[in-house]
Structure 1
Amino acid sequence: MLDKIQQQSITPLTSSFNYFITKKRLAMKTKQPNTKRINSLQWALLPLFGCGVLLFTGRTYA
């Protein structure tokens, strides 16, 4: 562990970013979302949410 602490950190002169990964991220950010898929997921989660509400609501008597 002491060897790791005593080592000098060398700063590289080049960027560590990969051009392909950066290009891929930019393409993903500018891509338009698929609204059909988003709407279908929302409608599919609606019954699940309703069941959860019914399951966790109840009267408590003290």
Structure 2
Amino acid sequence: MLPAPDQDRSIQQLYGALVESEERNAQVMDDILSALESGFSPLVLIERRDHWPCLPSGCVDSS
């Protein structure tokens, strides 16, 4: 999921790698969908605006 540890890699680069990780984003979506199917209403908090477009908007119910 994440690149190998590197002394020259900044925390911002690591956060960027998390945002761009399709595997991790799929895992997050699986967790959200599983919670919805179980009758829960998950609250998804994000820190970075650029992360949200990586997650499918099909789960969002604005009602």
TM-score, length-normalised on structure 2?
Answer: 0.31
Structure ranking higher on relative contact order (CA contacts 8 Å, 6+ apart):
2
TM-score, length-normalised on structure 1?
Answer: 0.31
Structure possessing the higher radius of gyration over alpha carbons: 1
